[in-house]
Amino acid sequence: MHLAYPAVLSALLFCTGLYGVLARRNAILVLMSVELMLNAVNLNLVAFDVWLSRAARDTLHSGQALTLFTIAIAAAEIGIGLAIVLAVHRNRGTSDIDRLRDTAEGHGDDTDGPGPGTSAAEKAEATA
């Protein structure tokens, strides 16, 4: 098989994942899109490893070994990411990224008083 086929498939997978990261508002779908992007990278690593191993007789298959490490790190990343998303969903009641960003910046419903990021002088001015 020619190298262009897995490279084009990998580019399509990566672009689909990139679109999912940029366009989605749900944190779980963003994590799934990141996994799709990592799988596209894994496909490229294996395809280029096979292509380069045809040229050299003694090869270490470093692309396939790196793919195994990438899969292990991706599994740990998705486990930690899902734990964070579930904790945020339990505390705030939503996993919408835009709403989470707005409440983190202080643009939420409780804008009548000083926020937690204000200095002592600003808090004194707000209470006076």
Residue 46, token pair as written in the block: 């294996």
Which pLDDT tens digits describe the chain residue by residue (128 residues)? 789 999 999 999 999 999 999 998 888 999 999 999 999 999 999 999 888 887 776 677 888 899 999 999 999 999 999 999 999 889 888 888 887 776 666 655 554 555 555 666 665 565 65
Residue 64, token pair as written in the block: 């396939």
Query: Which pLDDT belongs to residue 121?
Result: 61
How far is it, in rounded angstroms, from Cα 97 to Cα 24? 9
Query: Which pLDDT belongs to residue 1?
Result: 77
Query: C-alpha angle with apex 16: 1 to 105, nearest 5 degrees?
Result: 150
Exposure of 40 by Cβ count < 10 A (0-12 exposed, 13-18 middle, 19+ buried)? buried
